[in-house]
Structure 1
Amino acid sequence: MAILITGSTGTIGSQVLAHLQGRDIDIRALTRSPETAQLPSSVTPIRGDLADPDSLRAALDGVSTLFLLAPNVADELTQAMLALTVALEAGVKGIVYLSVFKGEAYADVPHFAGKHTVERMIEALDLPATILRPAYFIQNDLRQKDPLTKFSAYGAPIGSKGISMVDIRDIGEAAAIELLRREQAPVPLARETYELVGPDSLTGEAIAAIWSEALGRAIRYGGDDLTVMEQRMKAMLPAWHALDLRLMFGRYQTDGAVATTGDIAHLTKLLGRAPRSYATFAKDAAAQWAKG
């Protein structure tokens, strides 16, 4: 049998594939363009699209374990729910679903509320799934290179409540561990949930201080202006997506997204080590930027 990875060429899917490298297991990657997809040589590209249930039915032939990552699109919820339905009908014995940290609490943030609805479907149908709930990705802040290096400012308006950002490598590793556990089990396993978080509660000012040390000069926090952020996002993203992100950052500012000690301990047990820190990421990024 085989493991099928959706979102295989994206940020998280590529991390999952990297952590599955070297395993004596049939790994397949769902992609709309198998001819041009940049995948590890040991991975088999499979043509398909979550928006096309018939293509997913074909892609699930011979698959026993599914990594489900629905794209951040306007119909993300529909795609994810239909994918679960198709997987259930195909007899898939194990699912690893990428949800989001605080999905149940941020009811006004579309992509959070949608992922929580998918979790409710998994629970209601008693699907054999691991739910992974990642916090804000640390590597999103690679986009801060220009503000940091040109203007000595950290621009993400995350506020002062705190966020337990997670390294994408930890997400990929956690997903790979759970995919292998479910694939190798002789029978479907009970549901499991992990909060994928970092070890720190990070505020805008705290991250600015981390970058000050990493870059060797004073970095200031750019502030909490969400209107400006939305307008900037609209230059790169559809308007609905920019508003969705503004609402997310608004909840970060009012409520925060801080992991509990239990969340961190649970993830540490899964990984066999502590999750990676933001400070380590910043130090490594600064070193790479210095090299040009």
Structure 2
Amino acid sequence: MAILVTGSTGRIGTELLNALDGQGADVRALTRSPETAQFPAGVTAVKGDLSDIDSVHAALDGVSTLFLLTPNVADELTQAMLALNAARDAGVKGAGVKGIVYLSVFPGEAFANLPHFSSKVTVERMIAAEDLPVTILRPAYFIQNDLQQKDALLGGGVYAMPIGGKGISMIDVRDIAEAAAKELLRRERASGPLPPETYTLAGPDALTGDSVASLWSAALGRPIHYAGDDLTQLEQALKTFAPAWLVYDMLLMMRRYQADGAVASDADIARLTDLLGHAPRSYRDFATAAAAGWAKG
């Protein structure tokens, strides 16, 4: 039997496939373009798309553990629920899916007005109602999203992501992938379905716009200032490549970060530390490494 990874060509999927590589599991990666996919040597590319339920059914053949990451699209909820139903049905029919790791979001219930948060909360409710053998991972805002700040940092001397002053417990995507790999392998190696689990994936620091700017100042060796909470520049930048509904969704998220923050509890961090076997990676280390890489060109 095998592990099937969805979202395989994105940032998290790429890190996850690397984390699973060499662990002795049969790993398959769902992709729309298997002919051009560049996966580790031990990963089998499987043609499919979560928006095409027939391809999902086909891809689940011979799969015992599923990593479900749904894209941030208008029908995200439908894609996730259909995939979970297909996985459940595959397990009911016999030697099929016995375990699932689902990528949700933190803080889900608290940000109920955000479409891409609420869709994940609804999926979590389905998981609970159907008593599915799932590990739910709830990641905070990704640290690596701030790689997009390179031009603003180096060219303008500003940190321009308007995250506000309440604090966000940003998570390194490598920790997300590592946590997912550990839970996938645990469920894959079990003799049968395991009880549900839920983890908040969050970093060790409550980061604000000003504190992140200070970290970049230290990493780059020059003054970096927080550009402030105005969302206009972010909106203009997002509109160059994203549809209007997604732009508005992202702006709503930033408003909630500014108003309420998204800080994980000490208990959340301790539980994640136990799962990883080490403390979650810090923003300081990320910024230091990014700055060194940029200096090398």
TM-score by length of 2: 0.97
Runs of 4+ in structure 1 deviating by more than 2 angstroms, as ranges, are: none
- Kindly provide the CA deviation profile for residues 57-116 of structure 1, in whole angstroms up to 9, marking residues without a partner as x: 000001000000001111111100100011101111000000001011101111001111
- Kindly provide the CA deviation profile for residues 265-288 of structure 1, in whole angstroms up to 9, marking residues without a partner as x: 000000001000000000000000
Q: Are 1:231 and 2:236 matched, yes or no?
A: yes
Q: Percent identity over the alignment?
A: 68
Q: How does 1:83-98 map to 2 (within 5 A)?
A: 83-91=83-91, 92-98=97-103
* Distance (Å, rounded) in 1 between the aligned partners of 2:137 and 2:257: 20
* Counterpart in the other structure of 2:289: 284
Shift in Å at residue 235 of structure 1? 1.2
* Counterpart in the other structure of 1:213: 218
* Counterpart in the other structure of 1:18: 18
* Counterpart in the other structure of 2:278: 273
Q: Are 1:115 and 2:108 matched, yes or no?
A: no
* Distance (Å, rounded) in 2 between the aligned partners of 1:238 and 1:57: 29
* Counterpart in the other structure of 1:105: 110
Shift in Å at residue 213 of structure 1? 0.5
Question: Which 5+ residue runs of structure 1 have no aligned equivalent?
Answer: none
* Counterpart in the other structure of 1:137: 142
* Counterpart in the other structure of 1:40: 40
Q: CA RMSD in A?
A: 0.6
Q: Are 1:50 and 2:55 matched, yes or no?
A: no
* Distance (Å, rounded) in 1 between the aligned partners of 2:140 and 2:20: 22
* Counterpart in the other structure of 1:250: 255
Shift in Å at residue 227 of structure 1? 3.3
* Counterpart in the other structure of 2:64: 64
Shift in Å at residue 45 of structure 1? 0.4
* Distance (Å, rounded) in 2 between the aligned partners of 1:196 and 1:15: 15
* Distance (Å, rounded) in 1 between the aligned partners of 2:45 and 2:18: 15
Q: Find 2:155's aligned residue among 146, 150, 174.
A: 150
* Counterpart in the other structure of 2:190: 185
* Distance (Å, rounded) in 2 between the aligned partners of 1:236 and 1:252: 23
Shift in Å at residue 226 of structure 1? 1.7
* Counterpart in the other structure of 1:168: 173
Shift in Å at residue 228 of structure 1? 3.2
Question: Which 5+ residue runs of structure 2 have no aligned equivalent?
Answer: 92-96
* Distance (Å, rounded) in 2 between the aligned partners of 1:45 and 1:111: 28
* Distance (Å, rounded) in 1 between the aligned partners of 2:247 and 2:209: 20
* Counterpart in the other structure of 1:201: 206
SS at match of 1:29: strand
Query: What amino acid sits opposite 1:273 in the alignment?
Result: H
TM-score by length of 1: 0.99
SS at match of 2:161: coil
Q: Are 1:222 and 2:193 matched, yes or no?
A: no
Shift in Å at residue 23 of structure 1? 1.6
* Distance (Å, rounded) in 2 between the aligned partners of 1:288 and 1:31: 30
- Kindly provide the CA deviation profile for residues 16-46 of structure 1, in whole angstroms up to 9, marking residues without a partner as x: 1010010211100001111011111110000
Shift in Å at residue 139 of structure 1? 0.4
* Counterpart in the other structure of 2:94: none
Shift in Å at residue 232 of structure 1? 2.0
SS at match of 1:37: coil
- Kindly provide the CA deviation profile for residues 183-229 of structure 1, in whole angstroms up to 9, marking residues without a partner as x: 00111000000000000000000000000100111100011112332
SS at match of 1:95: strand
SS at match of 2:170: coil
Q: How does 1:75-86 map to 2 (within 5 A)?
A: 75-86=75-86
SS at match of 1:105: helix
